[in-house]
Homo-oligomer: A and B are copies of this chain.
Amino acid sequence: MIIVMQAEAAQSDLEHVVARVEGLGLRPHVIVGTERTVVAVVGDERNAQMSGLETLPGVASVLPILAPYKVASLEVQSEPTVVQAGPLVVGGGRVGVIAGPCSVESREQIVQTARAVKEAGALGLRGGAFKPRTSPYSFQGLKEQGLELLAEAREATGLAIVTEVVSPEDVPLVARYADVLQVGARNMQNYRLLEAVGRTRVPVLLKRGPAATVEELLLAAEYILDAGNRQVMLCERGIRTFETHTRFTLPLATVPWLHARTHLPVVVDPSHGTGHANLVESMAAASVAAGADGLIVEVHPDPKCAASDGGQTLDIPAFRRMMDVCRRVAAAVGRTLG
């Protein structure tokens, strides 16, 4: 941590800062510059009570130096984590594809979709049974019945089931059916839920909140890792910006940035990331080119009749075309799709 003093700070201010840093069990180094004096602080700045330092008289600002996450860091584990759930492999040169409808609607819908996406090369089946919806007046999902239909689709196809869990008390129930527990963007900082999925040994797909920084995403993962579950996939699904022509803005530079800092694999969701079916193929291909370890894509046999998210959902032929392009792009960057 670096404490920058104000230009007009008094010597007594500086002494006060130094004393306080020592009181926190850290070692201060005072450096007198031509315009400013700074205090470089040596020691683990993560646990100490830092936030009061910037209110001390004479302090201009406080700059952290250490990244606040640990277990997720490449400094702790340098080889990439590969997440495996049934046939689905994410990471380590394999680009795993998860596809399926926004919501589970009926046996026919989910089984038909599962067969089609499997044939096109997907290894995971997504489908929401518990749906967090912005409006209380929207369809909220089939709940446990939806989980049962997902299990039937798995039996029919062998695909790994990826489905969302929205509350800590549901974790045991959902974990009985799911091969991957999805923590949605709205729940990225629902810490009780993170701890609850962290106590299972079921792989977790953790979606970035639309206003979360990448450091906050890593810290949310840290809650899961810290609870003992190491099978965590990070998912970029778009952030809120001033852009309105897409539902969210999909910042693919997240992928190489995360790869330079964490061993956890990175999945991209081009469906929520764009919000428009006609942009999904391009952004799926771009995600693979950027180095994504996985894709999660909304697919429905008849998007215009989907119970939710129809506008961003591919139909089966469009998904097949997307897979063809992504397979070629994966090969171009030295990876294998599916």
Q: Which residues of A contact B (CB under 8 A)?
A: 2, 4, 7-8, 20, 29, 31-36, 38, 40, 42-44, 46-47, 49, 51-56, 62-63, 65-66, 68-70, 75, 132-137, 139, 166-169, 186-187, 189-192, 209-211, 213-216, 219, 222-223, 226, 239-246, 249-253, 255-257, 260, 273-274, 276-279, 281-283, 285-291, 303-311, 313, 325, 328-329, 331-333
User: Are the C-beta atoms of B31 and A136 separated by less than 8 Å?
Assistant: no
Q: How far is the CA of A222 from the CA of B34 in the complex (A)?
A: 21
User: Are the C-beta atoms of B282 and A289 separated by less than 8 Å?
Assistant: yes
Q: How far is the CA of A65 from the CA of B35 in the complex (A)?
A: 10
> Can you name the residue of chain B whose Cβ is closest to the Cβ of A61?
B65
Chain B residues with CB below 8 A from A243, complex form: 213-214, 239, 251
Smallest beta-carbon distance A33→chain B, Å: 4
19 contacts between A and B (CB under 8 A): A2-B40, A33-B42, A40-B40, A46-B135, A49-B307, A49-B310, A52-B303, A70-B137, A136-B226, A168-B169, A211-B211, A241-B251, A244-B244, A249-B249, A250-B251, A250-B252, A253-B279, A253-B283, A288-B289
Chain B residues with CB below 8 A from A331, complex form: 332
User: Are the C-beta atoms of A310 and B241 separated by less than 8 Å?
Assistant: no
Smallest beta-carbon distance A229→chain B, Å: 13
Smallest beta-carbon distance A40→chain B, Å: 5
Known: A29-B31, A136-B222, A257-B276. 9 other contacts (CB 8 A): A4-B65, A52-B304, A52-B311, A63-B63, A190-B190, A213-B245, A215-B245, A240-B242, A253-B282
Instruction: With A40-B40, A260-B278 as known contacts, state yes or no: A68 contacts B135, CB within 8 Å.
Output: yes
Smallest beta-carbon distance A129→chain B, Å: 15
Residue in B65, B211, B306, B307 whose beta carbon sits within 8 Å of that of A240 in the complex = B211
Smallest beta-carbon distance A4→chain B, Å: 5
**A75, A139, A211, A308: residue with the most chain B Cβ atoms closer than 10 Å:** A211
Chain B residues with CB below 8 A from A213, complex form: 242-245
Give 9 closest A-B pairs by Cβ, nearest first: A211-B211, A52-B310, A52-B304, A289-B289, A328-B332, A286-B290, A256-B282, A186-B189, A286-B286
User: Are the C-beta atoms of B42 and A34 separated by less than 8 Å?
Assistant: yes
> Can you name the residue of chain B whose Cβ is closest to the Cβ of A133?
B191
Chain B residues with CB below 8 A from A168, complex form: 167, 169
> Can you name the residue of chain B whose Cβ is closest to the Cβ of A226?
B136
Q: How far is the CA of A167 from the CA of B283 in the complex (A)?
A: 36
User: Are the C-beta atoms of B55 and A222 separated by less than 8 Å?
Assistant: no
Chain B residues with CB below 8 A from A276, complex form: 54, 257
Chain B residues with CB below 8 A from A4, complex form: 65
Chain B residues with CB below 8 A from A246, complex form: 251, 253, 257
Smallest beta-carbon distance A26→chain B, Å: 10
Chain B residues with CB below 8 A from A332, complex form: 285, 325, 328-329, 331-332
Q: How far is the CA of A252 from the CA of B310 in the complex (A)?
A: 22
